[in-house]
Amino acid sequence: MTIPRRSWRAAGTLAAAAVVGLSGAVLTAGPAAAHTPTWDVTCDEVSLHLTQYNAGVTNEVTVTVDGKDLLPTETFGKEFDKTIALPEHDQPLTVRLVVKAGDGERYSKDDTKQAPVCEKTTPPATPTPTETKPSETPTTASPSPSDTPSESASPSAPAAATPSPSSPDLAETGSSSATPIIGGAAVAVLLAGGGIMWSVRKRRTAQH
C-alpha cells in the first residue's frame, strides 16, 4: 500500500505546527516561572530579593510604610537586592511592596505585610561590688578604778605647820619672863595663908 505524497506533506505540516506551538507555550511560560519576588519584613527592617526578571525591559520597585515612601520608586533589570531599615515605632507598621514588571502586568506584584514592634531587652543588672570592712581589732577593757576607796587606806592627817625660824616675832601680849616668879610668889602666899588657917583652928580646938 502506497501513501500519497500529499498525505505525507500534510502530516509534516501538522507536526511542524505542533512543534512551533509547543515552543511558543514553553517560551511564554518561561518568563512567568522565572520572576521571583521574595521579600521579608521584621520589626526593624525590610529585605528585598527580586531575581530572574527580564533584563531587556525596565522593571520598577516601590516600598511604602503606612502610606509613606520607605523606598521611592527605583528601576532595576534582572535582579534587585536591598535591605532597608524601618523607623522606630511603638505600634505595628503596614509595609507595602509594589513591583511592576516591564514585560507584562501579570508578572507584577503588589503585597502587604506587618512590621511588629521590637521587644525591648533589659540589660542585665551589674552587681554592685560590696565594700569589705576591715575587721575590728578587739580592745582589752581596762579595769575601772574602784569607786569605794580601800578601807585600809586611812587619810593622812595634815602635818602641823612648823613656824619658820625666819618668820617675824609675834607681838607681845602682856606676858614676860617675870611671869613664873610672880606665879611662885602667889603659890607661897596661898600656902602661908593655909598654914595660918590650920594653926588657928588647932588652937581653937585645944581651948575647948
Strands (E), the chain: 36-41, 45-51, 59-65, 68-76, 80-85, 93-100, 109-115
* pLDDT attached to residue 56: 93
* pLDDT attached to residue 130: 67
* pLDDT attached to residue 181: 73
* pLDDT attached to residue 12: 53
Residues of the chain with confidence (pLDDT) below 50: 1, 18-32, 152-155, 157, 166-168, 170-172
Kindly list the distances between the CA atom of residue 102 and the CA atoms of 107, 114, 130, 181, in Å, as whole numbers in the listed order: 8, 27, 70, 170
* pLDDT attached to residue 203: 77
**Residues with Cβ within 8 Å of residue 72, at least 6 apart in sequence:** 62
